[in-house]
Amino acid sequence: MNSSAQSHTESHFTAGDAVRDIVIGMSDGLTVPFALAAGLSGAIAQTHVVVTAGFAEIAAGSIAMGLGGFLAARGDAEHYANELARERDEIITKPEAEAQEVRDIFRSYGLTDAESETVVASLRKRPEDWVSFMMRFELGLEAPEPGRAWKSALTIASAYIAGGIIPLSAYMIVSDVHQALKLSIVVTLVALAVFGGIKGRVTGVPVLRSGFQTCIIGGLAAAAAFGIARWIS
């Protein structure tokens, strides 16, 4: 046998949920505190006031975003549990209907009922595997990771805090508000580009394209929030 076939391994990206949480937290963390600080820069001359208000927003925003991530993940887990209980009940109370659904699934892949009958017969003997098959291929649901809700909350909140500190750092090292704003704009855009590049490398998207897209999208969001903040102030 060909040695290359024996040693063949496939590498797939499996950290989608964690990356999604980081993207959600970091994107908002980079744009919302920046917009607040930029808006305050037009009305307040003291950088320490901007920093204080910025950190207050980061604290409130990270808690709110983390709670949102927790509730979303908890909702997904509850939905999976309810569907799992329903499928377990149906293979007992409606085995023929469920067996036909298996045939329908295989038919969608081009197999005939006769060709899929062996799998149907095998699944009838293994109820838990049958339930898992229906959850994945009929409903498109994957079992949630244990503790996913808390991990999501902490990941989003931490990413929000990390992102929020970046635009505020300019106000912590430069005393003049207007100069700090200019520096904050540059630092935030650079951070968005770097963050996008890292995200692209992790997810397999071309680094330059991902960095450019993130910079443009985040920059537009920050500009819109900045314009609204300045208009209100």
Q: What is the pLDDT along the chain (233 residues), one digit of tens a residue?
A: 454 445 545 444 445 677 788 888 888 888 888 888 877 776 677 788 888 988 999 999 999 999 998 998 888 888 888 888 888 888 888 888 888 888 888 887 777 777 778 888 888 888 888 888 888 888 887 777 778 889 989 999 999 999 999 989 999 998 888 888 889 888 988 888 888 888 777 767 788 888 888 788 777 776 776 677 667 66
Cβ contact 31:187 at 8 Å: no
Q: Report the distance separating Cα 60 and Cα 213, nearest Å.
A: 28
Residue type, 17: D
pLDDT attached to residue 14? 44
Q: Report the distance separating Cα 7 and Cα 4, nearest Å.
A: 5
| C-alpha distance from residue 217 to each of 32, 81, 105, 196 (Å) | 13, 36, 39, 10
- Of 87, 78, 71, 75, the residue nearest 139 (C-alpha): 87
pLDDT attached to residue 1? 47
pLDDT attached to residue 158? 93
Cα dihedral 118→122→124→126 (10° resolution): -170
pLDDT attached to residue 233? 62
